Amino acid sequence: AKIGVSAQLAGSDLVLSRLEIAGTGFSLTAHGSSKAGVLDAEYRIALADLSVFASTLTGAVQAEGRFGGKPDALSVAATVRGDVGAPGVPRGPVTLRVTLDGLPGAPAGHAEAEGQLLGAPLALALDAKREADGTLRATIRRADWRSLHAEGALTLAPGTKLPTGRVQLRMARLQDLAPLVGQPLSGSLSAGLHLDEGAARLDGEALNAGLPGNHVRRVQLQARVTDPLGHPAVTANVSAEGIETGSLAGSAKVELQGPQEALQVRANAALRASGTDVAVTGAAVVNVPGRQVALSALQASGKGETLRLLAPAAVRFGDGVSVDRLRLGVRSAVLEVAGRLSPALDVTASLRAPADIAAAFAPDLAADGTVQVDAKLTGTSAQPSGTVRVAANGVRLRAGPGR
């Protein structure tokens, strides 16, 4: 990068006659002054290649504007123009204009965008104003692009930190976002955010949504957060019907309740995996700031067998993932795992099982006897190292030539 500055300081007055910053595909120029406590400056920014910020975008943008006034009553104006496209999508002109006055104490402003974004018309208009009594009001007057539509209004009363009001959003065709995410999408989405004194409520629904090979017929979210800026507590329900991903299909539901330090989570799912019906239930308490999960219940049933959590277990995910004595049981078999799983391995595991446990997955392998496995592993999951000891006692197949 190259930087050039020419300025003159006389007492508390500053005159910036030249500021230039130039790098690969980027440039900034500005000039202005601060005299007797009054600012007056103009600037221009150019970005020659949008793919520097997002690989799914092509084109270039330029921004120019000015700001000035006293520190307690600043005005800002900016105009951004560009030709924006995506791989396989022609570029189109987009213009954004923003004006703000009365910063920071009594802001009032307007933002408006128009043009062709990724081959479709864009129309955006936002207003914001602080009233004489100190109330700040913001309104989405228009927000439309392809099948996306948003509307709403928010009010922030003096002395409060959380605004009140609502914002609604819907998108009838999620595939409109495919050029931005770089993958084909399907389905539709609708969501609403409602804010009142001390609480926020979010309702959302997605229909027939997914990516190739992954699809869900319907997802519903209902969530309420009290005191979101202080000590947030959540009550939420998430349900998914018609899940299809690879060889897995079914439905699932998750319930959350409590503060972030002790968020109670309950989940259940009815799935079909590789032709087998599986029912899963679980319960845990999540400490979000502490990055820890206390798993209290887990059960999975399929093919007449049931896998159970035999004792409470702790999972920590603050610095990688580690497990504090996870014990699972099927029939009289017991699997125990403890230690660090990522980013580096430092884990011990043991399995005590009757040999006929294999018959649950391969009936031809029904056998008498017992099997014991003990492992101590280090390294990484890609390149583990360590020792594994296997002891088989009295093992004999019950039928077939192997008997």
Q: How many CB atoms lie within 10 A of CB 381?
A: 12
Query: Which pLDDT value is given to residue 188?
Result: 98
Residue 143's beta-bridge partner residues? 124
Query: Which pLDDT value is given to residue 186?
Result: 95
Q: Does the pLDDT value for residue 276 go beyond 90?
A: no
Question: Helix, strand or coil for residue 310?
Answer: coil
Three-state secondary structure along 119-159?
Answer: CEEEEEEEEEEECCCCCEEEEEEEEEECCEEEEEEEEECCC
Query: Which pLDDT value is given to residue 190?
Result: 98
Task: Give the pLDDT confidence of 164-177 residue by residue, as tens digits.
Answer: 999 999 999 999 99
More confident residue, 376 or 1: 376
Question: Helix, strand or coil for residue 178?
Answer: helix
> What confidence tier does 160 reach under pLDDT thresholds 50, 70, 90?
confident
Task: Give the pLDDT confidence of 343-374 residue by residue, as tens digits.
Answer: 999 999 999 999 888 777 777 778 899 999 99
Q: Do residues 94 and 117 lie in contact, with contact meaning Cβ atoms separated by under 8 Å? A: yes
Mean pLDDT, rounded, for 75-83: 95
Render 260-300 in DSSP notation, one character per residue.
TTSEEEEEEEEEEETTEEEEEEEEEEEETTTTEEEEEEEEE
Question: Helix, strand or coil for residue 360?
Answer: helix
Which residues, in sequence order, are CB contacts of 254 under 8 Å at separation 6+?
Answer: 236, 237, 238, 239, 265, 266, 267
Query: Which pLDDT value is given to residue 167?
Result: 97
Q: Does the pLDDT value for residue 97 go beyond 90?
A: yes
As a whole number, the mean pLDDT across the chain is 93
Render 73-131 in DSSP notation, one character per residue.
EEEEEEEEEEEEEETTEEEEEEEEEEEEEEETTS-EEEEEEEEEETTEEEEEEEEEEE-
Structural Rg of the chain based on CA atoms: 30
For residues 271 and 304, what is the distance between their CA atoms, to the nearest angstrom?
15
Mean pLDDT, rounded, for 253-278: 94
Task: Give the pLDDT confidence of 29-59 residue by residue, as tens digits.
Answer: 999 999 998 999 999 999 999 888 888 889 9
Task: Give the pLDDT confidence of 194-209 residue by residue, as tens digits.
Answer: 999 889 999 999 999 9
- What is the phi/psi pair of residue 190, to 5°? -140, 145
Query: Which pLDDT value is given to residue 171?
Result: 97
